[in-house]
Chain A
Amino acid sequence: MLQNLKQSLIVSVWFVFLTFPLMVVRVNTMNQEVIWRWMNMVWVAIGSFILSYLWRYMLARQQVRKKVTDEGGEIRSKTQLLLEDMSFRYKAMGVILLAALVFPLVFDTYQSTIMISALIYVVLGLGLNISVGLAGLLDLGYVAFFGVGAYSYALLNHHFDLGFWISLPIGGILGCLFGIILGFPILRLRGDYLAIVTLGFGMIFKVVMENWDSLSFGPSGIANIDKPSFFGMDLNLANSTIYIYYIMIAMVIFTILVTNRLKNSRIGRAWIAMREDEIACVAMGIDIARTKLSAYALGAFWAGMVGVLFASKTTFINPASFTFMESAIILSIVVLGGMGSILGVIIGAFFLILLPEYMRAFSEYRMLAFGAAMVLMMIFRPQGIISNLRQTYQYKGLKDKTNNG
Chain B
Amino acid sequence: MVEKKHKLLEVKGLTMDFGGLRAVDSVTLEVYEGDIAALIGPNGAGKTTFFNCITGIYNPTKGDILLHPKGLKTRRLNGLKPNKVTEMGLARTFQNIRLFPDMTVLENVMIGRHCRTNAGIFKAIVRSKSVRDEEQQIVASSYSLLEKVGLADFANEFSKNLPYGAQRRLEIARAMATDPFLLLLDEPAAGMNPQETSDLEKLICKISTEEGIAILLIEHDMKLVMNISNSIVVMEYGKKIAEGAPQEIKDNPKVIEAYLGEETDA
Segment from B32-40, B86-94, B213-221, B231-239 that makes contact with A? B86-94
Q: Are B103 and A273 in contact (CB under 8 A)?
A: yes
Question: Most B CB atoms within 10 A — which of A266, A294, A388, A392?
Answer: A266
Q: Are A284 and B107 in contact (CB under 8 A)?
A: no
Does chain A have a CB within 8 A of B155? yes
Instruction: Give, as a whole number of angstroms, the nearest-CB distance from B112 to chain A.
Output: 5
Q: Are A284 and B111 in contact (CB under 8 A)?
A: yes
Interface size on A (CB < 8 Å)?
Answer: 40
Does chain B have a CB within 8 A of A242? no
Q: Are A285 and B86 in contact (CB under 8 A)?
A: yes
Q: Are B100 and A298 in contact (CB under 8 A)?
A: no
Segment from B6-14, B137-145, B250-258 that makes contact with A? B137-145
Q: Are A269 and B107 in contact (CB under 8 A)?
A: yes
Q: Are B117 and A266 in contact (CB under 8 A)?
A: yes
Q: Mark A326-348, 1 if CB is under 8 A from B, else 0.
A: 00000000000000000000000
Q: Are B100 and A272 in contact (CB under 8 A)?
A: yes
Q: Are A276 and B101 in contact (CB under 8 A)?
A: yes
Q: Mark B225-253, 1 if CB is under 8 A from A, else 0.
A: 00000000000000000000000000000
Q: Are A266 and B124 in contact (CB under 8 A)?
A: yes
Instruction: Give, as a whole number of angstroms, the nearest-CB distance from A339 to chain B.
Output: 10
Which partner residue on chain A sits nearest B119 by CB separation?
A: A266
Given A266-B117, A277-B100: A285 touches B156 (CB 8 Å cut-off): no
Which partner residue on chain B sits nearest A265 by CB separation?
A: B124
Q: Mark B155-177, 1 if CB is under 8 A from A, else 0.
A: 11010010100000000001101
Q: How far is the CA of A276 from the CA of B106 in the complex (A)?
A: 15
Which partner residue on chain A sits nearest B175 by CB separation?
A: A284
Q: Mark A383-394, 1 if CB is under 8 A from B, else 0.
A: 000001011111
Q: Which of B99, B102, B106, B125 has a CB less than 8 Å from the CB of A262?
A: B125
Main secondary structure of the interface of B (DSSP, over half): helix
Does chain A have a CB within 8 A of B152? yes
Q: How far is the CA of A294 from the CA of B139 in the complex (A)?
A: 24
Q: How far is the CA of A390 from the CA of B106 in the complex (A)?
A: 11
Given A267-B121, A298-B121: A281 touches B55 (CB 8 Å cut-off): no
Segment from A160-168, A191-199, A363-371, A397-405 that makes contact with B? A397-405
Q: Are A269 and B111 in contact (CB under 8 A)?
A: yes
List A256-309 residues whose CB lies under 8 Å from chain B.
258, 261-262, 265-270, 272-273, 276-277, 279-288, 294, 298
Instruction: Give, as a whole number of angstroms, the nearest-CB distance from B229 to chain A.
Output: 23
Given A261-B125, A276-B101: A286 touches B111 (CB 8 Å cut-off): yes
Q: How far is the CA of A262 from the CA of B121 in the complex (A)?
A: 7
Which partner residue on chain B sits nearest A263 by CB separation?
A: B124
Given A284-B178, A395-B139: A276 touches B161 (CB 8 Å cut-off): no
Does chain A have a CB within 8 A of B110? yes
Does chain A have a CB within 8 A of B5? no
Given A266-B119, A266-B138, A398-B152: A285 touches B100 (CB 8 Å cut-off): no
Q: Are B152 and A402 in contact (CB under 8 A)?
A: yes
Which partner residue on chain A sits nearest B110 by CB separation?
A: A269
Given A267-B124, A283-B55, A283-B57: A397 touches B156 (CB 8 Å cut-off): no
Given A267-B121, A272-B100: A397 touches B92 (CB 8 Å cut-off): no
Does chain B have a CB within 8 A of A74? yes
Given A266-B124, A294-B121, A402-B152: A284 touches B114 (CB 8 Å cut-off): yes
Q: Are A276 and B156 in contact (CB under 8 A)?
A: no
Q: Are B114 and A285 in contact (CB under 8 A)?
A: yes
Instruction: Give, as a whole number of angstroms, the nearest-CB distance from A219 to chain B.
Output: 37
Contacts of A261 in B (CB 8 A): 124-125, 127
Contacts of A393 in B (CB 8 A): 104, 106-107, 110, 139, 155-156
Contacts of B153 in A (CB 8 A): 402, 404-405
Which partner residue on chain A sits nearest B97 by CB separation?
A: A280
Q: Are B114 and A270 in contact (CB under 8 A)?
A: yes
Given A266-B124, A287-B83: A281 touches B111 (CB 8 Å cut-off): yes
Contacts of A281 in B (CB 8 A): 100, 111
Q: Mark B48-90, 1 if CB is under 8 A from A, else 0.
A: 0000000101000000000000000000000001110011000
Does chain B have a CB within 8 A of A185? no
Does chain B have a CB within 8 A of A232? no
Q: Are B124 and A276 in contact (CB under 8 A)?
A: no
Contacts of B156 in A (CB 8 A): 390, 392-393, 404-405
Instruction: Give, as a whole number of angstroms, the nearest-CB distance from B231 to chain A.
Output: 25
Q: How far is the CA of A106 from the CA of B92 in the complex (A)?
A: 61
Instruction: Give, as a whole number of angstroms, the nearest-CB distance from B213 to chain A.
Output: 16
Does chain A have a CB within 8 A of B129? no
Contacts of A21 in B (CB 8 A): none
Contacts of B131 in A (CB 8 A): 265
Q: How far is the CA of A282 from the CA of B104 in the complex (A)?
A: 19
Instruction: Give, as a whole number of angstroms, the nearest-CB distance from A387 to chain B.
Output: 10
Q: How far is the CA of A239 from the CA of B152 in the complex (A)?
A: 57
Q: Are B125 and A285 in contact (CB under 8 A)?
A: no
Q: How far is the CA of A394 from the CA of B101 in the complex (A)?
A: 20
Question: Most A CB atoms within 10 A — which of B87, B92, B102?
Answer: B102
Which partner residue on chain A sits nearest B184 by CB separation?
A: A283
Which partner residue on chain B sits nearest A257 by CB separation?
A: B125
Q: Are A276 and B115 in contact (CB under 8 A)?
A: no
Contacts of A280 in B (CB 8 A): 94, 98-100
Instruction: Give, as a whole number of angstroms, the nearest-CB distance from A254 to chain B.
Output: 10
Instruction: Give, as a whole number of angstroms, the nearest-CB distance from A352 to chain B.
Output: 25
Instruction: Give, as a whole number of angstroms, the nearest-CB distance from A287 to chain B.
Output: 5
Q: How far is the CA of A287 from the CA of B114 in the complex (A)?
A: 10
Instruction: Give, as a whole number of angstroms, the nearest-CB distance from B217 to chain A.
Output: 16
Q: Are A265 and B100 in contact (CB under 8 A)?
A: no
Could you name 9 residue pairs across A and B whose Cβ atoms are closer than 8 Å?
Answer: A261-B127, A269-B110, A279-B98, A280-B99, A282-B81, A285-B114, A285-B116, A393-B104, A405-B152
Known A272-B102, A288-B83, A404-B156; further 10 A-B contacts with Cβ < 8 A = A261-B125, A261-B127, A266-B134, A268-B124, A269-B110, A279-B82, A284-B83, A390-B156, A390-B158, A404-B155
